[in-house]
């Protein structure tokens, strides 16, 4: 009998909670920051008809590139090989096979003031392909926390606006659900220097990173 009473009491409590007047809103928080880290993806590529000789020559260039990176005083953990590929291709014009070898390296540069000198050194060492760059910030966790706080404040202000407009007020939060949170780089950067180009001007526009948080909050609606 006690079990039935407890179950009935629980169902009654849930029913009452569901009948409570409430207001549900979406809160959004955005925090902007200037990136202080740039990730650079580069490749050393070569074509030829002798795979053994091709691998040897490309390997020599890769060694020069790694040496150039080390001379820029980058920590060894900030650069690594992403992949190495060797492809055999048939040339229908010459009726001969050709080989294409490529080695990709990814570099993490935490001092943006070294970007220009690093790119110059990479080109001089033999890099012949820039695959792309992307930005990040070192304190992303702190920025995300600030964005979440801003999202909560935004939700509270929205709920209060609706309630006050109806001559009511809001109470405590009944539920809080985070729907999304991420850091997004604004696409405002130019391409790096072209091979052989020399200039003292910077070619890197870092733009800003927008760290966003979005939440759903339901507040009690008070008379």
Mean pLDDT per block of 10 residues along the chain (223 residues) reads 48 53 95 93 94 93 95 93 92 89 96 93 95 90 93 97 96 93 51 41 80 95 91
Residue 169 confidence (pLDDT): 96
Q: Which residues contact 49 (CB under 8 A, 6 or more apart)?
A: 96, 97, 98, 99
Bridge partners, 136 (sequence order): 37
So where are the chain's domains? 20-34+139-222, 38-136
Q: How far apart are CA 42 and CA 9, in angstroms?
A: 66
Distance CA 84, CA 124 (A): 21
pLDDT at 127: 96
CATH 3.30.70.2970 for domain 38-136: yes
Look at residues 178, 185, 184, 58 and name the one whose alpha carbon lies nearest to residue 128.
58
pLDDT of residue 193: 37
Helical spans, DSSP H, in the chain: 2-19, 51-71, 115-125, 140-165
CATH of domain 20-34+139-222: 3.30.110.170
Residue 114 has a pLDDT of 93
Q: What pLDDT does 18 receive? A: 56
The answer to whether the Cα torsion of 143, 147, 148, 153 is positive or negative is: positive
Inter-residue contact 115 to 109 (CB < 8 Å): yes
How open is the CA angle 165-166-171, to the nearest 5 degrees? 95
**Which uninterrupted H or E stretch holds 85?**
strand 79-91
Residue 15 contacts by C-beta under 8 Å, 6 or more apart in sequence? none
Q: Write down the pLDDT at residue 188.
A: 38
Question: Which residues, at least 6 apart from 58, have a Cβ–Cβ distance to it below 8 Å?
Answer: 44, 45, 46, 101, 103
Phi, psi of 66 (to 5 degrees): -65, -35
Q: Are 207 and 189 in contact (CB under 8 A)?
A: yes
């Amino acid at each position: 009998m006690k079990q039935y009473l407890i179950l009935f009491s629980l169902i009654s409590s849930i029913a009452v909670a569901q009948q409570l007047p409430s207001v549900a809103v979406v809160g959004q928080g955005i925090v902007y920051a200037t990136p202080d880290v740039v990730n650079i993806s580069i490749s050393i590529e070569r074509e030829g008809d002798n795979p053994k000789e091709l691998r040897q020559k490309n390997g020599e260039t890769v060694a020069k590139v790694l040496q150039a990176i080390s001379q820029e005083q980058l920590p060894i953990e900030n650069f690594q090989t992403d992949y190495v590929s060797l492809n055999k291709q048939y040339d229908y014009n010459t009726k001969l096979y050709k080989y294409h070898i490529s080695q990709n390296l990814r570099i993490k540069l935490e001092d943006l003031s070294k970007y220009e000198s690093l790119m110059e050194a990479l080109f001089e060492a033999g890099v012949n392909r820039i695959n792309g760059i992307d930005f990040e910030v070192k304190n992303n966790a702190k920025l995300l926390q600030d964005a979440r706080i801003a999202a909560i404040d935004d939700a509270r202000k929205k709920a209060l606006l609706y309630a006050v407009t109806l001559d009511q007020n809001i109470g405590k939060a009944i539920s809080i659900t985070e729907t999304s949170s991420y850091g997004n780089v604004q696409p405002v950067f130019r391409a790096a220097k072209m091979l052989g180009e020399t200039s003292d001007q910077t070619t890197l526009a870092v733009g800003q990173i927008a760290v966003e948080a979005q939440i759903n909050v339901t507040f009690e609606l008070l008379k």
